[in-house]
Chain A
Amino acid sequence: MKSIFRLIRAHIRHGKDAFFGIILLMSLITFSFSGTVSNDDVLRAEIEKNFAEENVGDLIVMIYEDDLSDDMLASLDKSSSVAGYGVKQSIFLRSRPVVDGAEEDIILSFTRRSDDVCVFNDSFDGFRADNDLKPGEIFLPYKLKMNSRMKEGAVLSFRTSSGSEERYTVKGFYEDKIFGATTITDNYCVLSEEDYDRLISDCTDHEDSPVLLMIVYSEVHIHAADGIDASELRRDLTDSALIKSARAVLSRQNIIDLFEMYSNTGTRGMAAFTMILLAAILITIHNSISAAVEMEYTDLGILRALGFSVGRIRLVYAAEYVLALAAGSVLGLLVSIPVCAVLIRKWMNLTGILTGTDVSVMKCAGMSLVMILVCIGFIFAATAKISRISPVRAISGGRDEVHFDSRLNCRIRKHPLSLSLVLRQLSTNRRSYTGTALIVAMLVYFLVSITLITANLDPDKLFTTSKGEINLLNTGGLSIDNAGEFEEAAREVDSGASLYTRSIRRMMIDGQFVPVHAFRREEDKYDLLDGRQPEYDNELIVTKNLAEDLGKAIGDTVTVSCQDRTEEFIITGYFQTVFEFGLVSMMTEEGMQKLGCNDVESAQLKLSDTSKTQEMIDMITSRFGDSISASEYKESGTMLNYRKIVTILMNSSIYTMYTVILIFAAVVVVMLCRRSFVRERTDIGIFKALGTTSGSLRRQFALRFAAVALAGSLLGGTLSALWARKMITFMLKIVGLTDLKAEISPMTFAFPAAAVCLCFFAFAYAVSGKIKSVDVRELITE
Chain B
Amino acid sequence: MKKTILSAKEVYKSFAHNGRQTHILTGMNADIYEGDLTVIMGASGSGKSTTLYVLSGMDRATGGLVLYNGEDLAKMSEKKLSALRHSDFGFVFQQMHLVSNLSLYENITVPGYLNKSRSAAETEKRAEELLEKMGIKDIRDHLPSQCSGGEQQRCAIARAVINEPKLLFADEPTGALNRKNTTEVLDLLTDLNRGGQSILMVTHDIRAACRASRILYIEDGRIIGDLDLAMYDEKDEKSREAQVNAWLTSLEW
Contact = CB atoms under 8 A, between A and B. Distances in A.
B94 A412 contact: no
Contacts of B14: none
B101 A428 contact: yes
B33 interface: no
Contact of B113 (A400, A407, A414): A414
A780 B113 contact: no
A403 B145 contact: yes
A780 B176 CA distance: 12
Contact of A682 (B53, B94, B97, B111): B97
B84 interface: yes
B52 A780 contact: yes
Contacts of A428: 101
Interface centre among B87, B98, B111, B146 (most CB of A within 10 A): B111
A777 interface: yes
A407 B175 CA distance: 31
Contacts of A693: 78-79, 82
A425 B82 CA distance: 22
A413 B123 CA distance: 11
Nearest to B86: A691
Interface string A389-408: 00000000001100110010
A95 to B, nearest CB: 80
Interface residues of B, number: 40
A690 B113 contact: no
Given A403-B145, A780-B94, A690 B111 contact: yes
B106 interface: yes
A75 interface: no
SS class of chain B's interface: helix, strand, loop or mixed?
helix
A743 to B, nearest CB: 45
A690 to B, nearest CB: 4
Contacts of B171: 780-781
Nearest to A399: B145
Contacts of A690: 85-86, 91, 110-111, 114, 159
Contacts of A412: 102, 106, 109-110, 113
Interface in A86-134: none
Contacts of B176: 781
B100 interface: yes
A687 B99 contact: yes
Contacts of A425: 101
Interface string A430-452: 00000000000000000000000
B101 A424 contact: yes
A407 B106 CA distance: 13
Interface centre among B146, B171, B175 (most CB of A within 10 A): B171
Nearest to B80: A693
A782 B114 contact: no
B231 to A, nearest CB: 28
Given A404-B101, A691-B83, A780 B145 contact: no
Interface centre among A415, A424, A683, A776 (most CB of B within 10 A): A776
Interface in B109-161: 109-111, 113-114, 119-120, 123, 143, 145-146, 159
Interface in A662-702: 682-683, 685-694
Interface centre among A413, A692, A781 (most CB of B within 10 A): A781
A417 interface: yes
Nearest to B79: A693
A742 interface: no
Interface of B: 49, 52-53, 58-59, 78-79, 82-87, 91, 93-95, 97-102, 106, 109-111, 113-114, 119-120, 123, 143, 145-146, 159, 171-172, 175-176
Q: Enumerate the 4 nearest inter-chain pairs by beta-carbon distance, A residue then B residue, closest first.
A: A691-B86, A691-B85, A414-B120, A428-B101
23 contacts: A403-B100, A403-B145, A412-B113, A413-B113, A421-B110, A429-B101, A682-B97, A683-B99, A686-B97, A688-B85, A689-B85, A689-B93, A690-B114, A691-B83, A691-B84, A692-B86, A693-B78, A693-B82, A775-B58, A775-B59, A780-B52, A780-B93, A780-B171
Given A414-B113, A691-B86, A781-B95, 5 more contacts: A413-B113, A414-B123, A689-B91, A691-B82, A781-B94
